[in-house]
Amino acid sequence: MSKKTALVTGGSRGIGFGIAKALASEGWNIVINGMRPEESVAEPIGELKALNAEVAYARGDIGSAEGREAILGVAHAFAGGALNLLCNNAGVAPKVRADLLETSEDSYDCVLDTNLKGGFFLTQAAANAMVKAKEADASFEAAIVNISSISATVVSVNRGEYCVAKAGLSMVTQLFASRLGEFDIPVYEVRPGVTKTDMTSGVTNKYDKLIEDGLCVTKRWGFPEDVGKAVAGLARCDFPYSTGQVIMVDGGLTIPRL
């Protein structure tokens, strides 16, 4: 294909779909990944195609080795080789927001398998293909963007497993940025703040009040398109000398203030 190809995990809804739309608007072809049957994601696929993007759907669970292999099989076949961009966005929240003293091993394993282990090994596999493509053609361009969260450093004691996973993903970013530097493949981390998606629908009232009371410097919720714009800038290689760095998309929530 003449256009570059991006794989956005969890790209059929929420922040992932905001990223996919931003990339499609800038001329990328898109592979979106999700767990739902393909017929259930016809609407978002149609929206992306309306932006003149070629689109493929790679169904699979990034938390399993078999799922990752299937996803990358679809993505690499669609791209005709290595991906130009991997965006590790897929993530799950704990099914129950339990106090730290009551977090179950089942919940911990579920969250970390998807939010950390999945991103680590999907990056490893995609990066190996990118390196081979780069060695075969020095002009080949590739990058990796990990969607983390302010929860990488901001504590929530009623979802500790989520915080641990996001903190781990931050280290994954630095590790792969260091390893892939010799191949000129940058790796970035984007940390969204309080973002309006289906994942946060259950805490809307809580954060409406907190935002109104000054939680964020920019007095509103974040939206998926805010994250999409950040990823699109990184994907354009607007920051070629900033590998391993964190882009905050949190409305100033994490600015220390008195």
Residues with a catalytic annotation lie at 162
Local structure of 185: helix, strand or coil:
coil
Geometric angle at alpha carbon 151, from 36 and 5, rounded to 5°: 45
Q: How many CB atoms lie within 10 A of CB 202?
A: 10
CB count within 10 Å of CB 177 equals 20
Q: Give the span between the Cα atoms of 68 and 90, in whole angstroms.
A: 12
Token reading at 35: 């767990």
Distance, in Å, from the CA atom of 165 to the CA atom of 157, rounded to the nearest integer, reads 14
52: left (phi over 0), alpha (psi -120 to 50) or beta: left
Give CA–CA dist 23/233, Å, rounded.
9
